[in-house]
Structure 1
């Protein structure tokens, strides 16, 4: 179950969401190779051929220009790497990604979304933050170390907050007449 997208939808709409995700992939020219049910209501994972961050940016552009407004895809989190859901694997991968994608003067925060696991949130954050010398900034950081934790696999990214697509936060194109 490797994935590079975590997608939120309405409860019991996972199948329609997966179909719409494939349609969006076709619209923006990035094929969705697979989707999987996570076992958690309103949450699926997907695998896009190509850069998942580019996918969320193109999706955002699709919506802001008013060319397509998703009905079932509510939020998409791009994932750079997946690892087994073990504290040491998560910390190691998160630190490696942070070293690669955090510039020396950039601020960051660690965002943890855990589902069906008994890992301690603060313990996870401490195991990562203690090894990163950059300043932590909880409001408007330059980058977010995003952890999407599931029982067997964990997705990790080091991204800007606006690299996450959220239908609620995107302003729909000017053709909509500001409504």
Structure 2
């Protein structure tokens, strides 16, 4: 089911965020729907353009981390199945773009960071007046774990899309960098 750009806000609980070249948003929506529905069997999958050029969101009943792992297998076996995707990021929680809301979710996710594990916060922000450092402070200010900016065990990924923010606690390998991986 294709959802128009005006209905993109309907995908408030999106599970995947995909980047594509500007102008390829509609093709990217079709590509991710094909991958989710035909390749992975999620007949309820939905995708939509956002008001941000080059960015689409998708909803799936499947676990977003498992989707990325399965996409990676498809990419290695049939790289031509990915014509428009540049990067696909799994999203575990979607909240209003509000520092208190972001803090609530990151406090829950922080409990999943092991005592010996390192982490970093990555913020990608679009259409917001919030400063990256304020977001990072709200998200990680109270996390009592070691930070490693260059080679972390886990990434607290914060994707701000205007009024909505997607948040995930993921391994660096959980982001599918399609273009880079095609070159390997």
TM-score (norm. length: structure 2): 0.88
How many angstroms does 1:128 deviate by? 2.1
Pair 1:37 & 2:37 matched: no
TM-score (norm. length: structure 1): 0.90
Between Structure 1 and Structure 2, how many residues are aligned? Answer: 172
Match of 2:63 among 51, 62, 72: 51
Cα pair distance change 1:70/1:32, threshold 3 Å:
farther
Q: Which residue of 1 aligns with 2:9?
A: none
User: 1:127-166 counterparts in 2 under 5 A?
Assistant: 127-166=138-177
SS in structure 2 of the partner of residue 74 of structure 1: strand
How many angstroms does 1:113 deviate by? 0.4
How many angstroms does 1:31 deviate by? 4.3
Q: Which residue of 2 aligns with 1:122?
A: 133
Cα pair distance change 1:32/1:9, threshold 3 Å:
farther
How many angstroms does 1:64 deviate by? 1.3
- The question of whether the paired residues in 2 share the 8 Å contact of 1:32 and 1:46 is answered with no
CA deviations on 1:70-98 (whole Å, 9 max, x unpaired) are 10122110000111111110111112112
Unaligned runs of 5+ in 1: 173-177
RMSD: 1.6
How many angstroms does 1:39 deviate by? 0.6
How many angstroms does 1:152 deviate by? 1.4
Larger RCO (CA within 8 A; separation ≥ 6)? 1
Unaligned runs of 5+ in 2: 1-11
CA–CA distance in structure 1, aligned partners of residues 17 and 177 of structure 2: 12
CA deviations on 1:8-56 (whole Å, 9 max, x unpaired) are 0111111110101011112133446211221111101111111001101
Which stretch shifts more, 124-133 or 73-82?
A: 124-133
SS in structure 1 of the partner of residue 155 of structure 2: strand
SS in structure 2 of the partner of residue 108 of structure 1: strand
Q: Which residue of 1 aligns with 2:106?
A: 94
SS in structure 2 of the partner of residue 88 of structure 1: helix
- The question of whether the paired residues in 2 share the 8 Å contact of 1:21 and 1:32 is answered with no
